[in-house]
């Protein structure tokens, strides 16, 4: 009975789940473990100081493209359950996916690495993968949660849930205060224009909210090594909080940015405050679907001389 509960919680409604909230699903699984065992599970389970050796082997095999080795790390009894952004697949499909990436390099950020009960281990991670599988080198980011089970002397994956691959890094949390609720938007734009006039820059106005996941994706992208220098040299950036859609609507209308087309939304001003560009078609609304070259191209186009 308890194992069935764990399966349902881990799968989290299958593909209907928002995949960037994988961590919440993993945490839900851990709470379910606590209920089944009659134990209290910490709200903030500590990440282990010692790397989980089976996961380290899994990473090595992915990097080597070792499909045969990966096959030994997925459970047969019970049959491993693998959920992706497009639906549930079998372990063979998961192995083909990871081995077929032809990863040239893989950097892994583990956000959860913990044992919730004897013989079970949870790993939640985001992988930054440089691959040449498409014919040219590109970097992708993939988030996955894995539930490992000890079977005799061997640890195997019994469940996993994987996000779609994205070209931009996905934030580990949405806790950063990118859009301060108490900021005075008109005053911030005025200050940015004054700085822009001195530095002969342009002003990039970004409308968004802290509850908006893609707003955090865009903020993280702005700090990339290939994007931050362009921003620093050519733009003053102002983040404008729209709350739940009721705040700073006068500015959105003034700059011709329709709130109904979603956020994040941007406008570009010259140093005198003249509107040069306004987002009318939700170009940045799905920031997670953009590639770094999209942002670089946009900034290069509007940075001026």
Structure token digits, residue 245? 């859609």
Q: Which range is least confidently modeled, 37-46, 65-74, 131-140, 144-153?
A: 37-46
Q: Burial-class residue 148 by CB neighbours within 10 Å (0-12, 13-18, 19+).
A: buried
- The 10 Å Cβ neighbour count of residue 1 is 6
Residue 47 pLDDT level (bands cut at 50, 70, 90): low
Please provide the distance, in angstroms rounded to a whole number, between the alpha carbons at the two ends of the chain.
66
What are the pLDDT digits (tens) for 91-104? 999 999 999 998 99
| Torsions phi, psi for 122 (to 5 deg) | -110, 135
**CATH code of the domain covering residue 261:** 3.40.30.10
pLDDT at 132: 76
Q: How confident is the model at residue 1 (pLDDT cuts 50, 70, 90)?
A: very low
Number of domains observed in the structure of the chain: 2
Read off the pLDDT band of 174 (50, 70, 90).
confident
Contact status, residue 258 vs residue 268, Cβ threshold 8 Å: no
**Token pair recorded at residue 189:** 């734009």
DSSP single-letter state for residue 16: G
CATH number, residue 149: 3.10.450.50
Give 172's pLDDT tier (boundaries 50, 70, 90): confident
Same domain for 12 and 147, yes or no, is: yes
Domain residues for 156? 2-162
- Looking at the fold, whether 148 and 217 belong to one and the same domain comes out as no
pLDDT-derived band at 134 (thresholds 50, 70, 90) equals: low
Using 50, 70 and 90 to split pLDDT, how confident is the model at 48? low
Pairing mode, if any, of strands 81-84 and 154-162? parallel
Give the number of C-alpha atoms closer than 13 A to the C-alpha of residue 71, restricted to the C-beta side. Answer: 6
Q: How far apart are CA 225 and CA 35, in angstroms?
A: 45
State residue 35's pLDDT score: 35
Range with lowest mean pLDDT among 106-110, 119-123, 171-175, 272-276: 171-175
In a domain, 168, yes or no: no
pTM for this predicted structure: 0.76
Give bridge partners of residue 144 from the DSSP assignment: 125, 162
Looking at residue 39, what is its pLDDT? 35
């Amino acid at each position: 009975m308890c194992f069935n509960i764990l399966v349902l919680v881990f799968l989290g409604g299958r593909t209907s789940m928002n995949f960037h909230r994988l961590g919440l699903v993993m945490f839900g699984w851990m709470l379910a473990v606590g209920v089944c065992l009659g134990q209290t599970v910490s709200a903030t389970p500590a990440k282990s100081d010692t790397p989980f050796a089976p996961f380290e082997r899994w990473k090595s095999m992915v990097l080597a493209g070792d499909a045969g080795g990966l096959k030994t790390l997925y459970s047969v009894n019970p049959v491993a359950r693998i959920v992706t952004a497009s639906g549930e697949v079998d372990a063979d499909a998961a192995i083909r996916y990871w081995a077929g990436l032809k990863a040239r390099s893989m950097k892994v950020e583990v956000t959860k690495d913990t044992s919730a009960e004897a013989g079970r281990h949870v790993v939640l991670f985001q992988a930054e993968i440089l691959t040449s599988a498409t014919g040219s080198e590109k970097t992708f980011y993939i988030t996955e949660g894995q539930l490992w089970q000890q079977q005799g002397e061997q640890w195997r994956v019994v469940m996993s849930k994987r996000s779609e691959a994205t070209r931009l890094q996905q934030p580990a949390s949405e806790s950063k205060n990118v859009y301060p609720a108490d900021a005075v938007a008109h005053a911030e734009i005025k200050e940015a224009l004054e700085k822009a006039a001195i530095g002969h820059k342009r002003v990039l106005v970004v409308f968004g909210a802290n509850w908006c996941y893609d707003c955090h994706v865009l903020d993280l992208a702005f700090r990339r090594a290939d994007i931050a220098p362009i921003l620093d040299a050519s733009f003053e950036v102002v983040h404008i909080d729209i709350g739940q859609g009721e705040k700073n609507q006068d500015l959105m209308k003034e700059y011709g940015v329709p709130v109904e087309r979603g956020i994040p939304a941007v406008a570009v001003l010259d140093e005198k405050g003249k509107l040069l560009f306004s987002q009318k078609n939700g170009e940045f609304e799905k920031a997670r679907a953009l590639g770094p070259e999209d942002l670089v191209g946009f900034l290069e186009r509007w940075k001026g001389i």
